[in-house]
Structure 1
Amino acid sequence: MTPRFAGRLVIAVSPSDIGRRVTIRRADPDGFRDTIGVLTSWHEGVLGVRRRDGTLVDIPESAVVAARVIPER
């Protein structure tokens, strides 16, 4: 079955956004996963995002289906 999306998926984050707060949706074997935090790195196709609890999440650029910069809290 082909997934259907109700809205447009946009990737509006680039390496120039390092240090900014972002939300990233990535494809996962079980569906989609969202990560919110500060973009700390973007190196060799891997995005590093530090969550509020301090954990670092590495996200392969190839898995990103939507991303955007969000306002600070």
Structure 2
Amino acid sequence: MNRTPVSSSNLKSVGYDQSSNTLEIEFHGGRVYQYYNVPKRIYQGLMAASSHGRYHHRRIKDSYRYSRIR
């Protein structure tokens, strides 16, 4: 999945696959997680947020099933 770099002290890049509603986040340090069944509006909100890390923590982290892929 292609990811877009973001300006964040916690997140390095973010990608989204609309066909499967999968959100992929790479963190500084190399960890990559995929979050499943994430609506496009949540991805758009993450990308538009003034703080990507805070948005992730409040709206994504404990709200969607995920797995670490790297």
TM-score between both structures, scaled by the size of structure 1: 0.37
Greater relative CO, 1 or 2 (CA 8 Å, sep 6+): 1
TM-score between both structures, scaled by the size of structure 2: 0.38
Larger Rg: 1
Answer 1 or 2: which has greater strand percent: 1
